[in-house]
Amino acid sequence: MIEQLTYIHRQMKQRGIEVDYESQYDFTLTGEEGGERQLDFQNQFLFLLNKAALPIGTSIISDTNSVVVEGLNVSADNVEEFSGRININLPDKKADGTDLTRDDVFNFLFYHIIPK
């Protein structure tokens, strides 16, 4: 198992991309907010670090990748890469069929890279 940041730095090196700035980028969404967020990371990279912690049915769609969280068998060290305009949507309902509420809080954890 490769540690997530080692994997990310290896990806940048293999592509010949020099890193100018890197940091953790995180935020929360709740069911009350409609569970939607739009991000703009043109010419930058966001690596999702906590896919396994997100509810089943969460979708993340960007200019370079699209992912729907499909189940509990997601590896904890799984890393997904996004860039450009990014749309994040929580599902309408929990896995048990009940509606999301303001008490349902989900943290999204990314690693942000700006290339030189």
Predicted confidence pLDDT, tens digits, the chain (116 residues):
469 999 999 999 999 999 999 999 999 998 876 689 999 999 999 999 999 889 999 999 999 999 999 876 666 668 999 999 999 999 988 888 888 888 899 999 999 999 99
Bridge partners of 89? 36, 59
CA contacts within 13 A on the Cβ side of 101:
3
CATH of the domain at 76: 2.60.120
The domain in which residue 42 lies consists of: 4-115
Distance (Å, whole) CA 27 – CA 14: 29
Q: How many other CB atoms are there within 10 angstroms of residue 30's CB atom? A: 15
Number of domains in the chain: 1
pLDDT at residue number 1? 44
pLDDT at residue number 72? 64
Distance (Å, whole) CA 100 – CA 105: 9
Nearest CA to 111 among 75, 79, 89, 74?
79
Residue 25 CB partners (closer than 8 Å, separation 6+): 46, 110, 111, 112
pLDDT at residue number 92? 86
pTM: 0.89
